[in-house]
Amino acid sequence: MKFAFKTLDDIDYVGKRILLRVDMNCSVDPETKQITDISRIEAIQETLKELSRSKVVLMAHQGSPGSDDFISLEQHTKVLKNLGFNASFVDDIFGEKAKKAISQLKDGEILVLQNVRYFEGELKKAPPQEVAQEQIVQELYPLFDFFVNDAFGAAHRSQASIVGFTTVLPSVAGRLVEKEISTLTAVTATDQHPWTLVLGGSKVEDKVATLDKLLATNRVDNAILGGLVGTLFLIANGKVSETYSKPIKGYESAIETARNLLSKYPDKIILPEDAAVECEDERLNCTFNEMGNLPFLDIGPRTIDKYVKIIKESAVVFANGPMGYFEKDTFAEGTSKVLSAIAECKGITVVGGGHMGAMAKKMSLDDKITHISTGGGATINFLIGKKLDLVVALEAAAKRMDE
């Protein structure tokens, strides 16, 4: 596939100083804080291998302030070492410690900087020229020859480490970004129906906004909802009490959109019909009326049966975000049965996002699914035809490089 941005094929990177932004944001056990799945780290290996004769500085995020998975990148560095890379970690992003370690780097070595979201300026979302003014960009860019962006999972985030460097350094895409974009382009070229979206997990504000756009395109026939996104819609239509809004970050702003979507697309939005709650440390399947105020942690059996049937009969399925609290085995049932149905579906199937992708691999379903994308939000944005911020920025950088 021919891209309007440049790739590793267009630069001479041997012996050069490369700043490489990746997305190795992994699933993390909320209690032990240990990484539970390394797929996103494995996914950047091709780029790292290709840059094995350069000095590579890795920049990445993990979680975000306030989330359970907001941890240091020290563990990620160990994983890279176990995969055979000559990687070391510095507990700094752009201070003296980081600069010193960067200056001592030799060809074939990889230096992992600390979680970029430990720096507040990284959280700002603005156009490339604006985020380029952030300290992280201004301090780091003079130390490099090239910026390589392989962070497909964060391609929809217009933040300093994703788009800022593209305005000040010759910038190209890494191999994972290339692979994701060409595969997703091929997968979405189809016009087949029924087209089913399976949407779960958290980040409800993002997801409700994309659902709004996606339903407006007429591409989606069924939007099957679960996880916190599903709970939000159940509150919106009065099936579940507002007390369940408590764990939902972004509830206030998303609930109105959810109500509007329900009245606009009553036949397309498909909601859970029953629940699984946690009662004395056990899974209890029940109706919404029987839930009391017990934690609502998965979709119930009737819902699972209904979702499985719709998925199996679909021509295209795209899934992002788990159906429940899959970190606990007893509440992983909804997500795992939905994934099995996706694997059995004869149509085109795409599973996106760190959590769902990891579980599909754990269940050895990866070769029965058309494409497991490392992107969640990024992939959904791609599907609604929104040009990814990372791509826009790299295309502008390519033009500058040709001038």
CA distances for 169 relative to 148, 162, 163, 289, angstroms: 9, 12, 11, 58
CA atoms within 13 A on the CB side of 50: 18
Q: What tokens does 266 get?
A: 């009553």
Q: Examine residue 21 and tell whether it contacts ligand 3PG (CB under 6 A).
A: no
DSSP-assigned letters across all residues of 340-396: HHHHH-SSEEEEESHHHHHHHHHTT-GGGSSEE-S-SHHHHHHHTTPPPHHHHHHHH
In the block, which residue shows the tokens 């691999």?
361
The one of ligand 3PG, Mg ion, none whose footprint includes residue 157, by CB under 5 to 8 A per kind, is: ligand 3PG
Subset of 62-91 contacting ligand 3PG (CB under 6 A): 64
Nearer to ligand 3PG among residue 25 and residue 54 (C-beta):
25
Q: By Cβ distance, which residue is nearest to ligand 3PG?
A: 25
Q: Candidates 354, 359, 392, 393: give the one binding Mg ion (CB under 5 A).
A: 354
Helix 227-236 and helix 204-216: axis angle, to 10°?
A: 70
Nearer to ligand 3PG among residue 23 and residue 134 (C-beta):
23
CA angle 250, 200, 40 (to 5 degrees): 100
Residue of 358, 104, 67, 310 lying closest to 197 (CA atoms): 310
Subset of 153-192 contacting ligand 3PG (CB under 6 A): 153-154, 157
Subset of 336-355 contacting ligand 3PG (CB under 6 A): 353-354
- Stretch of 75-83, 96-104, 149-157, 275-283 lying at the interface with ligand 3PG (CB under 6 A): 149-157
The one of Mg ion, ligand 3PG, none whose footprint includes residue 21, by CB under 5 to 8 A per kind, is: none
Measure the CA–CA gap between 160 and 45, rounded to whole angstroms: 23
Q: Examine residue 200 and tell whether it contacts Mg ion (CB under 5 A).
A: no
Least distance from C-beta 37 to Mg ion, angstroms?
11
Least distance from C-beta 58 to Mg ion, angstroms?
18
Subset of 298-337 contacting ligand 3PG (CB under 6 A): none
Nearer to ligand 3PG among residue 54 and residue 210 (C-beta):
210
Nearer to Mg ion among residue 347 and residue 354 (C-beta):
354
Q: Examine residue 376 and tell whether it contacts ligand 3PG (CB under 6 A).
A: yes
Q: Examine residue 377 and tell whether it contacts ligand 3PG (CB under 6 A).
A: yes
Q: Examine residue 23 and tell whether it contacts ligand 3PG (CB under 6 A).
A: yes
Least distance from C-beta 202 to ligand 3PG, angstroms?
10
Q: Examine residue 25 and tell whether it contacts ligand 3PG (CB under 6 A).
A: yes
Measure the CA–CA gap between 370 and 107, rounded to whole angstroms: 37
Measure the CA–CA gap between 128 and 390, rounded to whole angstroms: 9
Measure the CA–CA gap between 339 and 364, rounded to whole angstroms: 11
The one of Mg ion, ligand 3PG, none whose footprint includes residue 377, by CB under 5 to 8 A per kind, is: ligand 3PG
Measure the CA–CA gap between 267 and 223, rounded to whole angstroms: 9
Q: Find the DSSP H helices in 112-191.
A: 128-131, 135-140, 160-163, 175-188
Nearer to ligand 3PG among residue 153 and residue 334 (C-beta):
153
Nearer to ligand 3PG among residue 10 and residue 69 (C-beta):
69
Q: By Cβ distance, which residue is nearest to Mg ion?
A: 354
Please give, one letter per residue, the 3-state secondary structure of 278-307: EECCEEEEECHHHCCCCCEEEECHHHHHHH
Question: Which spans of this chain sit near ligand 3PG (rule: CB under 6 A)?
Answer: 23, 25, 64, 153-154, 157, 203, 353-354, 376-377
